[in-house]
Amino acid sequence: MENLKILKERKDQIYQKGSESFEMSCEKNSLAGSISQRACVFCGSRVVLYPIADALHLIHGPIGCAAYTWDIRGALSSGPQLHRFSFSTDLSESDIIFGGEKKLYAALDELIDIHKPKAAFVYATCIIGIIGDDIDAVCRKVSQEKGIPVIAVHSEGFKGTKKDGYAAACNALALLVGQGEISKIGPLSLNIMGEFNIAGEAWSIKEYYQKMGLEVVSIFTGDGRIHDIKKSHGASLNVVQCSGSMLTLANHMEEKYGIPYIRVSYFGIEDMSKALYDVADFFNEDPSVMNRAKEIVKQEINAIYPQLKKYKKALEGRRAAIYVGGAFKAFSMIKALRSIGMSVVLAGSQTGKQEDYECLRDMCDDGTIIVDDANPLELSKYCLEKKVDLFVGGVKERPMAYKLGIGFCDHNHERKISLAGYDGMLNFAREVYSSVKSPVWDLMP
Ligand code: SF4
């Protein structure tokens, strides 16, 4: 295993800090045959729109695409659960030869009558891009007949990277924004963007902002509702986490409605506190907002700090690898792991940009491997070489970590434990401690 080799075409997407000049090649299509850890364009759209709980999500394509993304996120809803179905037109050979538009129309007609959604999203998958079904025309027709927005999401899987799927989802959301009534929304108001309510995280974040005296108009898209999205242009500020997934929409809303945005992260004490302070700073015409933010930070840190200290003592000197979707999340992870005594020796992302990797380079210690669009072989190689104790990643990295005898913390959208906010930081430390210190690793050959 120690002699694992990387593909020569991948060399300019892997960098070891301190050993060579930094020129990361990124934002390009995955190398054919390298078994990229990335998801497809369709999956990118699906994960962004999925948490909208009162919408119908219909996948136009073969059943495999729907199975691949069925209940893909642990995104909770306080009301409807319609998002948790994975409806599909289940295209077969004859549909692909003769076209799937009739089947799409029939599926929409029946599903809207049964479930009475507030809107419907129709996802185009690979095969739709190949056979050329006019899903826009079908969506327009059904929208007129049923009186709800029926929106085509152009997310043909092969046409780019997962990031293009995020953009397609943002373009779909942009069609809803601006349609609602905003006269009752006050100036101390914001939208939470890029927070998907995994294990109820968006509810905690919303509560912090409400305690600061701010009105949360809409959450994109955790516990999302069509009605809230339609009036989101009435907010004074967009607060964007997970910038890869939401920047297209934030930029659109800034251009069209003049709503500025700031980028934040809710992972780790440092970044969570910074998010509250940055938002309070935006509303500085009312000093009580900042005063309340300071009080929240003080109370929350005091509540978790003694327990964090215990975990830090036990984890001091252990090494971690991070592989995440967007690189922005990796920045917070590095800080959060350092705060519990661990160092990061491998950091990578599926969709990072040049400036993200430059920031990663500046944050990381000498010798850290930084990788773009990795595959399991590369991740395994560097985990072994760097003697990693913990892998922080998603569902695709979990089996690899366990096979290598490495502790694992799920920080992706399938998890069922909240890791955002102050309580989330404590959960994170507990997860890391439980996995790294598990006696099972002593039994590994
Ligand atoms: S859209 Fe294409 S790449 Fe994505 S799951 Fe379907 S067939 Fe696979």
> Could you read off the pLDDT of 52-102 as tens digits, one per residue?
999 999 999 999 999 988 888 889 999 999 999 989 999 999 999 999 999
pLDDT range class, residue 198, cuts 50, 70, 90 = very high
**Ligand 1, atom 4: closest residue by C-alpha:** 157
Share of the chain above pLDDT 70, in %: 99
Atom in ligand 1 nearest the alpha carbon of residue 155: 1
pLDDT range class, residue 1, cuts 50, 70, 90 = low
Higher pLDDT, 116 or 412: 116
- Express each pLDDT in 129-149 by its tens digit: 999 999 999 999 999 999 999
Phi, psi angles (nearest 5°) of residue 261: -135, 155
Pocket test for ligand 1, best of 45, 68, 72, 122 (most atoms within 8 A of CB): 68
Mean pLDDT of 252-275: 97
Q: Does position 4 have pLDDT exceeding 80, yes or no?
A: no
Sorted by where each starts, the structural domains of the chain and their CATH numbers stand as 8-24+316-414 (3.40.50.1980), 41-174 (3.40.50.1980), 189-298 (3.40.50.1980)
pLDDT of residue 35: 81
Tokens 């986490």 belong to residue: 241
**Ligand 1, atom 6: closest residue by C-alpha:** 65
Q: How far is the CA of 414 from the centre of ligand 1 (A)?
A: 19
Q: How far is the CA of 157 from the centre of ligand 1 (A)?
A: 5
Neighbours of 287 (CB within 10 A): 10
pLDDT of residue 69: 85
- Express each pLDDT in 179-195 by its tens digit: 999 999 999 999 999 99
DSSP 127-177: HHHHHT--HHHHHHHHHHHHTS-EEEE---TTSS-HHHHHHHHHHHHHTTT
In order of 52, 80, 125, the CA distances from 86 in angstroms are 13, 15, 14
Mean pLDDT of 316-324: 96
Atom in ligand 1 nearest the alpha carbon of residue 125: 1
* Pocket lined around ligand 1, Cβ cut-off 6 Å: 40, 42-43, 61, 65, 68, 125-126, 157
Atom in ligand 1 nearest the alpha carbon of residue 68: 5
439 burial (CB, 10 Å; 0-12 / 13-18 / 19+) is exposed
Q: Does position 257 have pLDDT exceeding 60, yes or no?
A: yes
Q: How far is the CA of 139 from the centre of ligand 1 (A)?
A: 21
Tokens of 394: 């998603």
Q: How far is the CA of 61 from the centre of ligand 1 (A)?
A: 9
369-372/14-16 β-pairing: antiparallel
Q: Does position 177 have pLDDT exceeding 70, yes or no?
A: yes
Q: How far is the CA of 178 from the centre of ligand 1 (A)?
A: 31
Atom in ligand 1 nearest the alpha carbon of residue 61: 6
Q: How far is the CA of 67 from the centre of ligand 1 (A)?
A: 10
Nearest to 297 by CA among 270, 322, 331: 270
Q: Does position 164 have pLDDT exceeding 90, yes or no?
A: yes
Mean pLDDT of 118-137: 97
